[in-house]
Amino acid sequence: MNRIPPWLRYLAVAGDVVYILWIVRNGMESGFRGTPVEVVSFVGLIVLLALNAGLLLLWRSAKG
């Protein structure tokens, strides 16, 4: 019983990727400088977004 439309998963993955690219772009503009707390939080956020996108894509392909 799959109630989530496939396009919604792809939209979530696209949102994750766009957000990751936005974070990286802002980091490049600031010369990748920040306080240690900022660096850890941004790296953690990127890891969580990438994990979310990866799990959504893998779950979709496993369900067939």
The pLDDT tens digits along the chain (64 residues) read 467 788 898 999 999 999 999 999 999 999 989 899 999 999 999 999 999 999 998 875 565 5
**1 within some domain:** no
DSSP 8-state assignment for residue 4: S
What one-letter code names the amino acid at 8? Answer: L
Predicted structure pTM score? 0.81
**32 within some domain:** yes
State which residues form the domain around 35: 6-63
The number of distinct structural domains making up the chain is: 1
DSSP 8-state assignment for residue 19: H
Q: Look at residue 18 in the predicted model and tell me its pLDDT.
A: 97
What one-letter code names the amino acid at 23? Answer: I
Whether the Cβ atoms of residue 49 and residue 20 lie closer than 8 Å to each other = yes
